[in-house]
């Protein structure tokens, strides 16, 4: 997945969830849209190098959008959570994710559960439907651990329950952690942040929900799904 031209700068601050003030290389200060509703723990430190993308849409109040951040002065992370679904779909189509192969149709945003929409629904002749929920992991902790979530998520807990229900009905279901952070080498639930999510993830795994994580390769031009990472529950 290509970013197109990105604009480098330095983060001044992120605030009101959806806004970030950035100083560009020429000294100009701009306000950019932040496409991430999470806490962005460890990914929004003032002074960090960041990269913005110009939407070139004059109707947008904030035409610049925040795409990348340099973490700890050495890792790149994509903070645009809207890219996760497209990255996983692209990886399935390119044969990168072996566990999700063999389906002729990929449908995004299909309604299911209690007023939810599954990220991807895989369908194929003679196969049970495969419901795929995707979560974005950018919380790097010690020793290469990536943890999810970075804030309490009742919505995420609901999704796990809905995936378990699909398995009970005879379908397949998966929780796929998309990891757009070059410093993360393994994934685990953030029990210290949201113990209920961790409990439900373990329950879902035991009930037959498939749990997997995939790393990305990132530079200032592109981001692609790279390899599978271990998930330790």
Structure tokens at 157: 């807990």
Longest dimension (CA), the chain: 60
113, pLDDT greater than 90: no
What pLDDT does 63 receive?
A: 96
Nearest to 190 by CA among 39, 88, 71, 70: 39
Please name the fold of domain 7-78.
OB fold (Dihydrolipoamide Acetyltransferase, E2P) (2.40.50)
Q: What is the CATH number of domain 81-229?
A: 3.40.1350.60
| Spatial contact of 223 and 217, defined as CB atoms under 8 Å apart | yes
Q: What is the pLDDT of residues 162-213, one digit of tens each?
A: 999 999 999 999 999 999 999 999 999 999 999 999 999 999 999 999 999 9
User: Is 32 within 8 Å of 22 (Cβ atoms)?
Assistant: yes
Give me the helices (H) in the chain, please.
Answer: 84-93, 154-168, 195-206
- 152 neighbors 109 (Cβ within 8 angstroms): no
Give the start-to-end residue ranges of the domains of the chain. 7-78, 81-229
Whether the model clears a pTM of 0.85, i.e. scores above it, the answer is yes
| Residue 104: count of CB within 10 angstroms of its CB | 9
Helices 195-206 and 154-168 cross at an angle (nearest 10°) of 10
Whether the domain at 7-78 and the domain at 81-229 fall into the same CATH topology: no
- Per-residue pLDDT of 5-27, as tens digits, reads 999 999 999 999 999 999 999 99
């Amino acid at each position: 997945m290509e970013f197109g031209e990105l604009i480098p700068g330095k983060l001044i601050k992120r605030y009101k969830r959806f806004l970030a003030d950035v100083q560009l290389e020429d000294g100009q200060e701009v306000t950019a849209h932040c496409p991430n509703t999470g806490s962005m723990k460890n990914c929004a430190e003032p002074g960090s190098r960041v990269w913005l993308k110009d939407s070139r849409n004059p109707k947008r109040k904030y035409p610049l959008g925040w795409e990348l951040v340099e973490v700890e002065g050495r890792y790149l992370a994509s903070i645009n959570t809207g890219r996760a679904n497209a990255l996983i779909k692209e990886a399935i189509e390119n044969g990168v994710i072996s566990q999700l192969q063999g389906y002729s149709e990929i449908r995004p945003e299909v309604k299911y559960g209690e007023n939810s929409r599954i990220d991807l629904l895989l369908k194929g002749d003679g196969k049970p439907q495969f419901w795929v929920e995707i979560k974005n992991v950018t919380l790097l902790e010690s020793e290469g651990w990536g943890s999810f979530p970075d804030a309490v998520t009742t919505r995420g807990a609901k999704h796990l329950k809905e995936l378990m229900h699909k398995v009970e009905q005879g379908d397949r279901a998966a929780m796929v952690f998309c990891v757009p952070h070059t410093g993360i080498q393994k994934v685990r639930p953030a029990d210290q942040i949201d113990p209920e999510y961790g409990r439900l993830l373990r329950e879902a795994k035991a009930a037959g929900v498939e749990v997997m994580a995939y790393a990305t390769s990132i530079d200032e031009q592109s981001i692609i799904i790279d390899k599978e990472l271990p998930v330790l529950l």
